[in-house]
């Protein structure tokens, strides 16, 4: 089972659409990790066979039409328990300590977060942590990630897409 993970689209619906179109084949779930969470709502109806999981970010808190999204989700996908959050409430720009403790406390297999606009992945205490980077950037590359949960393994591909 494949999962597309995106974050930080910041209103760039056309760019988000390009990334989704480029990677939607074989994807069963899409996670948007905030800062533009309303952007995914515009596109989700085009993909009725895909489950969308959306959390709000720090920039979404100032938008009146995006307050209906939670700041974190815990869902089970493909036999894995996943924590999804934007990351700002865990101060991920300063360190990963708080998000690691939150993931441990929640008993998840995978923790997804954004906010830093930088791709990263690491494993801590058997939990896989992933930040897909940012969809909206000023440079020529758009970042996202694909998680493949085939055969009970977690395989991650960090992707940079040209605008």
Q: Which residues pair with 144 in a beta bridge?
A: 159
Condensed to tens digits (0 to 9), the pLDDT of residues 8-29 reads: 998 888 888 888 888 888 899 9
What is the set of domains in the chain, with CATH numbers?
A: 2-162 (3.60.21.10)
State residue 37's pLDDT score: 85
Q: Buried (b) or exposed (e) across 70-85, using 16+ Cβ within 10 A?
A: ebbbeeebbebbbbbb
| Cα separation, 72 vs 56, whole angstroms | 8
State residue 41's pLDDT score: 79
Condensed to tens digits (0 to 9), the pLDDT of residues 70-126 reads: 999 999 998 999 999 999 999 999 999 999 999 999 999 999 999 999 999 999 999
Checking if the pLDDT of 64 tops 60, the result is: no
Q: Within 10 A of 31 (CB to CB), how many other CB atoms are there?
A: 28
Look up residue 54 and give its DSSP letter: E
7: nearest Cα among 148, 109, 130, 140: 130
Checking if the pLDDT of 151 tops 80, the result is: no
For the whole model, what pTM was predicted? Answer: 0.92
Cβ-contact 131, 113 below 8 angstroms: yes
Checking if the pLDDT of 30 tops 70, the result is: yes
């Amino acid at each position: 089972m494949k999962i597309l993970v995106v974050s930080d689209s910041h209103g760039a619906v056309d760019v988000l659409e390009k990334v989704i179109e480029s990677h939607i084949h074989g994807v069963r779930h899409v996670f948007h990790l905030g800062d533009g969470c309303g952007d995914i709502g515009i596109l989700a109806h085009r993909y009725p066979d895909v489950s969308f999981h959306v959390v709000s970010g720090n920039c979404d808190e100032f938008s009146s039409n995006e307050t209906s999204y939670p700041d974190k989700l815990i869902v089970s996908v493909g036999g894995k328990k996943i924590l999804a959050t934007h990351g700002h409430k865990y101060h991920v720009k300063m360190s990963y300590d708080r998000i690691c403790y939150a993931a441990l406390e929640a008993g998840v297999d995978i923790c997804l977060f954004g906010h830093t606009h930088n791709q990263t992945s690491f494993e801590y205490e058997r939990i896989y942590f992933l930040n897909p980077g940012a969809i909206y950037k000023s440079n020529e590359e758009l970042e996202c990630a694909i998680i493949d949960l085939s055969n009970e393994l977690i395989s991650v591909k960090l992707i940079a897409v040209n605008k």
